[in-house]
A and B are shown apart, each in its own frame.
Chain A
Amino acid sequence: MNVLPEALLRHPGLWQGKARHDRQAYLSTGFPALDEQLPGHGWPRGALSECLVARPGIGELRLLLPALIGLAGEGRWTVWIAPPYIPYAPALGAAGVDLSRILVVNTVDEGESLWAAEQALHSGICSAVLLWSGVRDARRLRRLQLAAEESRSWAVLCRNKGFSKHSSPAALRFELGMMAGKLAVQIIKCRGPVPGAPVMLNA
């Protein structure tokens, strides 16, 4: 029931909603239930995803872990910028993450974190860039999103839940919490229709 000519469909400037997405541009989350709810059926690459949590440690790594393991085959950097705690090598290694491709960047302030994130995104040789930050400046967020758009990396910004009310240029935003022993992912912004109910995940 395609009424548009094929050439037009392939035009890069034409965005066609949820139905057609470049498979390459998305990364399976490893949770079928979540994949189903996300446009492109996975985490977007070349765009900023924003993970909003009440506090670090609630379950964000369990959510991101399957995708990180999936990236191990690419052999490119997974950059962890300003992680709140020490990424624990034995657990990551046991889960199947390629430890030799992890780059932990510890910074002293917001400016350094964002600079490092931009450098990692611009370098074009990072599979994933994970950034923990409380950045509130809209201009800096915009820069981060632009850097992510120009890259092919999976960029994730982890911020406090308090920022969910603020506007953000991120392509995908979701709140993460625990509900009855399950991970609850409430998508609050994505390219395409936003699902209403939170997705419950066993992780």
Chain B
Amino acid sequence: MEAARATVPVLPDTEQQRSRGTRQRLWLALVFPHFSLEIACRGLASDEPVAVVDGHGVHVRILACNRAARGLGISIGMPLSAAWAVAAALQTVSRNAAVEAAALRGIAAWARQWSSLVSLVEDRPPGLLLEVGGSLRLFGDLEPLAARIRAGLEELGYQARLGIAPTPLAAWLLARINDGRPVRPGEALAGRLAPVPLFFLGLAETTCKALENMGIRSFGDCQRLSRSGTARRLGPELVRYLDRALGRVPDPRLAYVVPAVFVQELDLPTEVTALDALRFAARRLLLELEGFLIARDGAIEALELGFRHNRQAATRIVIRLLVPGRNARHLLALLRQRLESTQLPAPVTGLWLRADKVLVSAPPATDLFGSAKQQQEEQQLLVERLQARLGVAAVQGLEGVPGHRPERVWRYCSPGTKSPAVKSEMMAPRPLWLLACPTPLVHKPRLESGLERIQSGWWDGEDIARDYYITRSSDGARLWVFRELRGERRWFVHGYFA
């Protein structure tokens, strides 16, 4: 029997895997019962009354509200006008299906770090299905994995109900009834699904009505019906549904493909000016970005954080990294520096985070002894921290450049650049300090030594013709001075042999 099954070309993958003795599928369903509200509130650091409303014209009603709003006497289903009469300070947000869809995709991309197959469930309430059978060994076991997913979602600002079962539908139903105890492959599934109420099954309305009239109230009741009789009276829908839930027929799910570019937005229900509150909101987005990058095994060199204002052009902050990275904590530290030195023209009504270029991540190479690599990375971190506050141009490295003109034989470069040692053709001494602009001398100095004629640069129009000498000032400092060979033949100080 087993052998015969394995030869059938398109078998339900669960069955096929089982018959081959390979790993078994296990699905983890995430249901977001307060999705609309969480999208509205998750960028808000403070506990202000917020409600999500839905409807048109005079039929606008409260769809969901947070604890602060409930405390003021707001309840679900209340007309908006009544809600405002009760609580004038109430902030309302219209439910926006497009925003919810984008947010769900954001979580799906984030969740791809835990599973190779993430599928969207765009239902009410929405959710995700993660195939975690292949992730168990990597993340310890089911319990640690579930705990990490739950904690990660909380950091993003979402509360999820979890359900774990060998079929996606069963996992979903367990999550709907908030039954977090996992059903592992081989364990009795039918009994655990029995209490699921009929209206959670998502059957067609006519089927639902007909079943209710028959006195069927739950999944367990449905299972007790005779298979052929049900199929004859109600059509094949219910039978197929039960088969899918219990793993008798395949239930393929469409895998969510993580996009190439990270763009996520976060609307704030109130206007925010406090930096702490903005950092709180930005942190949510940065954590989402981190998950996205782990899922893609990528890293970024630059990201753009935008702040939207009312009736004003948005403020954009671009953060650049010297070493491609994805650590949200590090990015947040850089952002903190930048925010402190950025003047926001108006209160912020929303944020967006964008990372266009995702590079292949170089895994953190840890050496066996000490770690030169790690030290190098730490060195880059210091540069980034300094540059984040002082600006990129203020923090520089030095390198020598071949040539003759004193101003042109060096330049600032990106810190840490290992440039090939420039052959010092000049045997003549050079000062340790160079003046950015040579300062003119009034009198001819008393020359100590050296005549060095430097005549160069005729090809680019900035040619020089100078005689360099070393002299000593009255207080004993040794100076590098030159005299122009053309024009007024003035004397200048060009450096100090400090």
Interface residues of A (CB under 8 A from B): 54-62, 65, 75-77, 83-95, 99-107, 112, 115-116, 119-120, 123-126, 177-179, 181
**Bound CA span A53–B432, Å:** 16
CB B107 to nearest CB in A, in angstroms, measures 36
Contact pick for A86, options B386, B434, B476, CB 8 Å:
B434
The answer to whether B433 touches A76 (Cβ under 8 A) is no
Question: Interface stretch among B216-224, B238-246, B395-403, B451-459?
Answer: B395-403
- Given the interface contacts A76-B379, A123-B381, does A100 sit within 8 Å of B419 by beta carbon? yes
Interchain CB contact under 8 A, B476 and A177: yes
A87 B433 Cβ-Cβ under 8 A: yes
The answer to whether A115 touches B389 (Cβ under 8 A) is: yes
Closest chain B residue, CB of each to CB of A184: B476
Interchain CB contact under 8 A, B476 and A89: no
B residues in contact with A112, CB < 8 Å: 389-390
Q: Contact: A99 with B399, CB < 8 Å?
A: yes
Cα distance, A163 to B417, chains bound together (Å): 37
C-alpha gap A88/B389 in the complex (Å)? 25
The SS class assigned to the B binding surface is mixed
Q: Which of B385, B395, B396, B432 lies in contact with A92, CB distance below 8 A?
A: B432
The residue in chain A whose Cβ has the minimal distance to the Cβ of B426 is A90
- Residues on A with beta carbons closer than 8 Å to the beta carbon of B395: 103-106
Could you say which residues of chain B place their CB within 8 Å of the CB of A126?
Answer: 382
| Minimal Cβ-Cβ distance residue in B for A94 | B424
Which of B313-321, B322-330, B490-498 participates in binding chain A? B490-498
- CB neighbours (8 Å) of A88 from chain B are 410, 430-434, 495
A94 to chain B, nearest CB (A): 5
A85 touches B400 (CB 8 A): no
Closest to B412 in A: A104
Taking the closest CB of chain A, its distance from the CB of B238, in whole angstroms, is: 66
Partner of A93, one of B378, B396, B422, B495: B422
With A and B bound together, what is the CA distance between A115 and B394 in angstroms? 13
Tell me if B235 counts as interface (CB < 8 A to partner A).
Answer: no
Complex alpha-carbon distance, A108 and B228, angstroms: 84
Q: How far is the CA of A66 from the CA of B395 in the complex (A)?
A: 24
Say how far A175's CB is from chain B's closest CB, in angstroms. Answer: 13
How distant is B374 from chain A, measured CB to nearest CB, in Å?
Answer: 10
Which residues on the B side are within 8 Å of A95 (C-beta)? 432
Q: Which of B398, B411, B412, B498 contacts A57 (CB 8 A)?
A: B498
Known: A85-B434, A120-B382. A106 touches B424 (CB 8 A): no
Is the Cβ of A59 less than 8 Å from the Cβ of B424?
A: no
Q: With CB as the reference atom, state the residue of chain B lying closest to A77.
A: B379
Counting CB contacts under 8 A, is B421 at the interface? Answer: yes
Q: Which residues of B contact A58 (CB under 8 A)?
A: 475-477, 496, 498
Q: Which residues of B contact A (CB under 8 A)?
A: 375, 378-379, 381-383, 385-386, 389-390, 394-400, 409-412, 415-419, 421-422, 424, 426, 429-436, 475-477, 479, 495-498
**Contact at B390–A62, with CB atoms within 8 Å?**
no
- Give the distance in Å from the alpha carbon of A75 to the alpha carbon of B475 in the complex: 36
Given contacts A62-B497, A103-B397, A103-B415, contact A91 B382 (CB under 8 A): no
List the A residue with the shortest CB-CB distance to B403: A90
User: Which A residue sits closest to B378, measured CB to CB?
Assistant: A125
A125 touches B375 (CB 8 A): yes
Contacts of B418 in A (CB 8 A): 100
Asked whether, in the complex, the Cβ of A103 is within 8 Å of the Cβ of B475, the reply is no
Report the bound CA distance from A58 to B431 in whole Å: 12
Q: Is the CB of B476 within 8 A of A92?
A: no
The answer to whether A105 and B400 touch across the interface, beta carbons within 8 angstroms, is: no
Residues of A within 8 A of B375 (CB): 75-76, 125
Q: List 30 A-B contacts (CB under 8 A).
A: A54-B475, A55-B477, A56-B433, A57-B477, A57-B479, A58-B475, A58-B476, A62-B432, A62-B498, A85-B435, A86-B434, A87-B432, A88-B430, A88-B431, A88-B433, A89-B398, A89-B400, A89-B411, A91-B430, A93-B421, A94-B424, A95-B432, A99-B398, A100-B416, A100-B419, A102-B398, A103-B396, A104-B397, A106-B390, A125-B378
Query: Separation in Å of the B360 CB from the closest CB of chain A?
Result: 26
Q: Which residues of A contact B397 (CB under 8 A)?
A: 99-100, 102-104
Minimal Cβ-Cβ distance residue in B for A102: B398
The reply to whether B430 and A90 contact each other, CB–CB distance below 8 Å, is yes
Docked CA distance A110–B398 (Å): 23
Minimum C-beta distance from B396 to chain A (A): 5
Query: Told that A86-B434, A88-B432, A103-B386 touch, could you supply 17 new A-B pairs with CB distance under 8 A?
Result: A59-B497, A85-B498, A86-B436, A87-B434, A93-B400, A93-B422, A100-B397, A102-B398, A103-B415, A104-B398, A104-B412, A106-B396, A116-B390, A123-B378, A123-B385, A124-B378, A177-B476
> Quick one: closest B residue to A91, CB to CB?
B430
Alpha-carbon distance A94/B410, docked complex (angstroms):
12
Q: Are B495 and A105 in contact (CB under 8 A)?
A: no
User: How far apart are the CA atoms of A54 and B475 in the complex, in Å?
Assistant: 9
